[in-house]
């Protein structure tokens, strides 16, 4: 049965991981994400957690945690991590490796402001890093919740998405959502008819594991024999340019096929609105209130998946607009995605409202809607 609880955002994510049947967390404490690890440590250290085989490991740093996460996934653990800011930066090597090897790692990322260590409170300055960090091509699925309830809903969903499509999958929250307290409905996914996509080991005998040829680009897969048993050996280091090109092309083909099924957005307000506000995450929650209270022809377009980005849906939503307002707590990270999506397709004046590490209130967006304030 579902139940409503008054919880902090980070605890909501811990409970979402439990509901998703996660069984291992590898991490390192960092504000504003630390309570996720605190919650999981308590769960794993409890008698029930011990009986269920829950694993918790605090690494020496985020670099170690990222590679522990990869090891857990390779062994068949339904594993995840949680991080923020500088820790998110340090995990990019592991995330890029997971991207290249099509490993379903899951991360809860609660953004904090930069540059460098900067503020530990809040920002939306990790959008580009989450979507395109590392030395790959940005083949990571990134969800951006805007409410405490969505922390639970998408905190659950990231595990199924990761294991179904075999791409790194991130929930990109922020410091305000992490520390906010509010009422959240918790539920058993089975009672909602939500299937739990099972985890399977990558590095065991083929007869006990999965057919890796279905999910791993073939140039990365070697089959070796020992004592008459067939084993799969995953490769992360490629030697030839042609070999690397083939791997990238095969990952891209799998990404394009997946993106059509995963891409998600929300539109609030009048259809064919003359003014369309574009915002994501908690700023979209403020924008929703402003749009709902505004008079006139106004709408809100909110990308739920920042990667893959809902390009076609955005173009349709602003096709009849006379003005677009982009609001984000960063300089031109969401803005760059929006302008890239519209380039050469839609010619509409854009008002850019950028406030890195600052909250954006409904009243500010309402003023932009009303007065067309140029920033």
pLDDT value at 273 more than 70: yes
Q: For residue 227, how many C-alpha atoms fall within 13 Å in the half-sphere facing its CB?
A: 1
At 84, the pLDDT band (50, 70, 90 cuts) reads very high
Q: What is the pLDDT of residue 294?
A: 94
CA distance linking residue 199 with residue 64, whole number of Å? 22
User: If phi over 0 gives left and psi between -120 and 50 gives alpha, with beta otherwise, what is residue 234?
Assistant: beta
Task: Report the candidate in 357, 343, 275, 286 with the shortest Cα–Cα distance to residue 309.
Answer: 343
pLDDT value at 191 more than 60: yes
Parallel, antiparallel or unpaired: strands 229-234 and 221-226? antiparallel
Output the six-digit token pair for 291: 């749009």
Q: What is the pLDDT of residue 236?
A: 76
| 218 CB neighbour count, 10 Å cutoff | 11
Q: What is the pLDDT of residue 372?
A: 56
pTM: 0.92
Output the six-digit token pair for 287: 């924008």
- CA 64-65-70 angle, to 5 degrees, is 100
pLDDT value at 212 more than 70: no
Q: What is the pLDDT of residue 319?
A: 93
Q: How many helices (H) and strands (E) does the chain have?
A: 14, 16
Q: What is the pLDDT of residue 243?
A: 86
Q: CATH assignment of 265-371?
A: 3.40.50.920
Q: CATH assignment of 3-192?
A: 3.40.50.970
**Boundaries of every domain in the chain:** 3-192, 265-371
On average, the pLDDT of the chain sits at: 91
Q: What is the pLDDT of residue 203?
A: 72
Task: Report the candidate in 336, 309, 282, 305 with the shortest Cα–Cα distance to residue 111.
Answer: 282
pLDDT digits (tens, 9 = 90+) for 51-72: 999 999 999 999 999 999 999 9
3-192 and 265-371 have identical folds = yes
At 230, the pLDDT band (50, 70, 90 cuts) reads low
Task: Report the candidate in 56, 43, 92, 84 with the shortest Cα–Cα distance to residue 178.
Answer: 84
């Amino acid at each position: 049965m579902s139940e409503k609880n008054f919880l902090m955002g980070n605890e909501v994510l811990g409970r979402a991981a439990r509901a998703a049947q996660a069984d291992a967390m590898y991490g390192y404490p960092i504000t504003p994400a630390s309570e996720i690890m605190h919650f999981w440590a308590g769960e794993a250290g409890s008698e029930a957690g011990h009986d269920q085989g829950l694993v918790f490991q605090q690494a020496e740093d985020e670099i170690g945690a990222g590679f522990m996460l990869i090891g857990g996934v390779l062994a068949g653990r339904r594993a995840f991590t949680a991080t923020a800011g500088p820790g998110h930066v340090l995990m990019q090597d592991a995330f890029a490796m997971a991207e290249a090897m099509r490993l379903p790692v899951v991360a809860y990322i609660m953004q904090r402001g930069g540059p460098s260590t900067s503020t530990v409170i809040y920002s939306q300055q990790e959008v580009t890093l989450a979507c395109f960090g590392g030395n790959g091509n940005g083949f990571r699925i990134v969800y951006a919740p805007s409410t405490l309830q969505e922390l639970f809903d998408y905190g659950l969903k990231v595990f199924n998405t990761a294991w179904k499509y075999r791409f790194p999958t991130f929930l990109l929250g922020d410091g305000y959502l992490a520390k906010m307290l509010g009422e959240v409905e918790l539920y058993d996914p089975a009672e909602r008819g939500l299937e739990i996509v099972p985890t399977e080991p990558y590095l065991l005998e083929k007869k006990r594991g999965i057919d890796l040829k279905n999910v791993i680009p073939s140039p990365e897969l070697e089959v070796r024999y020992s004592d008459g048993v067939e084993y799969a050996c995953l490769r992360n280091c490629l030697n030839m340019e042609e070999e690397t090109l083939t791997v990238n092309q095969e990952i891209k083909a799998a990404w394009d096929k997946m993106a059509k099924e995963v891409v998600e957005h929300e539109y609030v307000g009048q259809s064919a609105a003359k003014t369309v506000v574009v915002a994501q995450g908690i700023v979209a929650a403020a924008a929703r209130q402003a749009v709902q209270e505004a008079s006139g022809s106004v709408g809100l377009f909110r990308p739920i998946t920042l990667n893959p980005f809902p390009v076609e849906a955005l173009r349709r939503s602003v096709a009849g607009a006379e003005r677009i307002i982009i609001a984000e707590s960063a300089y031109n990270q969401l803005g760059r995605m929006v302008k890239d999506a519209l380039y050469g397709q839609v010619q509409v004046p854009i008002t850019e409202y950028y406030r890195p590490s600052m909250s954006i209130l409904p009243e500010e967006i309402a003023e932009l809607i009303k007065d067309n304030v140029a920033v």
